Amino acid sequence: MKILVTGADGFIGSHLTEELVRQGHDVRAFVLYNSFNSWGWLDASPEEIKNNIEVFAGDIRDPHGVKEAMKGCNMVLHLASLIAIPYSYHSPDTYIDTNIKGTLNVVQAARKVGVEKVVHTSTSEVYGTAQFVPITEDHPLQGQSPYSASKIGADQIAMSFYNSFNTPVAIIRPFNTYGPRQSARAVIPTIITQIASGKRCIKLGALSPTRDFNYIKDTVQGFIAISQSDKSVGEVINIGSNYEISIGDTARLIAEAMGVEIEVETDEQRFRPKKSEVERLWADNSKATKILDWEPLYANREGFKKGLKETAAWFSSPDNLKRYKADVYNI
């Protein structure tokens, strides 16, 4: 199968691209065009992976390039998006252009080219603060940040093409994915990079919100499972661990995994506006289990601790740590 992966240069996209190649698929990796000829995280992939992918440099906001990239492909796994919540507070236009218009470009091209399936990537942030737990796919959607609002819009655009034109769209809704290569804009790399850089007083924002963290290997297998399931077309499916933990407790588990003692200092610039903070996320993953026969391998507290150890080991490598600015707040 010829598969186009948009956002292949990013955190989840690079891991997914590598796994698809390992499974023998013909992969075209859509990366953001830039003057450095950088393929993002794919630059760090093993040579046997890089030698077996076709790289297409473009911009998801350009409909012509998206259509050109899609030609000859059977399936599209659409991950390209802007994801940083703080950045969306002062640059919301870019989120509309990238997340909503970019998704429109993908489904429009898919309709014209006639691909067999589009897997569109959503996010647990569209649920906002949980009104009930665990959160099922029927939970109300709440745009508590420009980012989450743009992803709600993108999801609706994608599903509208299924409803209007019978475009074969499936929506995967991962909860908080973590693991090697993740941006330090996310809380787990923020904590790990500070500790790995020798700090013992760790700067964080709010400590009480809870999250359902999902290890990258489980998220990748979720993408592959939804791509292979005929039953997923026209569906929105949560991919989460079904385990809830606070940010404060997460910091303590990371310190334990790295064998250090830490103090946590709250940093005002890291707080979201009060009504924008998502206080609670906890995934109901029963639909994924039923439809996809998918289950997380890094589930519950023990699975989370295992994932944190693997993540901390990757970030603690000097070659990897030097890519990050642990002393700078990344918005």
pLDDT tens, residue by residue, 173-208: 999 999 999 999 999 999 999 999 999 999 999 999
Paired tokens of 136: 């099922």
Q: How confident is the model at residue 331 (pLDDT cuts 50, 70, 90)?
A: confident
Quickly count: other Cβ atoms within 10 Å of residue 141's Cβ: 15
Q: How confident is the model at residue 8 (pLDDT cuts 50, 70, 90)?
A: very high
The residues that bridge with 211 in the sheet, in sequence order, are 245
CA pair distance 67, 4, nearest whole angstrom: 11
Predicted local confidence at residue 165, as pLDDT: 98
Above 90 in pLDDT, residue 66? yes
Indicate the pairing of strand 177-178 with strand 26-32.
Answer: unpaired
How high does pLDDT run on average in the chain? 97
Largest CA distance in the chain: 57
Question: What is the rounded average pLDDT of the residues 256-280?
Answer: 96
Quickly count: other Cβ atoms within 10 Å of residue 163's Cβ: 11
The residues that bridge with 53 in the sheet, in sequence order, are 27
Above 90 in pLDDT, residue 47? yes
pLDDT tens, residue by residue, 138-158: 999 999 999 999 999 999 999
Contact between 155 and 171 under an 8 Å Cβ cutoff? The reply is yes
Contacts of 221 (CB under 8 A, 6+ apart): 294, 297
Does a cis peptide bond (omega within 30 degrees of 0) precede residue 168?
no
Burial of 75 (0-12, 13-18, 19+ CB in 10 A): buried
Predicted local confidence at residue 267, as pLDDT: 92
Contacts of 329 (CB under 8 A, 6+ apart): 203, 267, 269, 270
Predicted local confidence at residue 196, as pLDDT: 97
| Helix, coil or strand: residue 211 | strand
Domains by residue range for the chain, with CATH: 2-177+213-239 (3.40.50.720), 179-211+243-279+300-321 (3.90.25.10)
Paired tokens of 303: 């699975």
Predicted local confidence at residue 290, as pLDDT: 98
Three-state SS annotation for 26-84? EEEEEEECCCCCCCHHHHHCCHHHHCCEEEEEECCCCHHHHHHHHCCCCEEEECCCCCC
CA pair distance 273, 195, nearest whole angstrom: 27
Above 90 in pLDDT, residue 327? no
Torsion of CA 7, 238, 310, 181, to 10 degrees: 20
pLDDT tens, residue by residue, 206-252: 999 999 999 999 999 999 999 999 999 999 999 999 999 999 999 99
**DSSP tag of 101:** I
pLDDT tens, residue by residue, 76-103: 999 999 999 999 999 999 999 999 999 9
Helix axes 187-196, 247-257, angle to 10 degrees: 40
Above 90 in pLDDT, residue 75? yes
Contacts of 46 (CB under 8 A, 6+ apart): 18
Helices marked H in 166-274: 187-196, 216-228, 247-257
Predicted local confidence at residue 330, as pLDDT: 85
**DSSP tag of 146:** H
Paired tokens of 204: 């964080």
Per 3-state DSSP, the chain is made up of helix, strand and coil in percentages (nearest 5) of 45, 15, 35
Paired tokens of 55: 């790289």
Percent over 90 (pLDDT), the chain:
98
Q: Comparing C-alpha atoms, which of 46, 141, 53, 61 is closest to residue 94?
A: 61
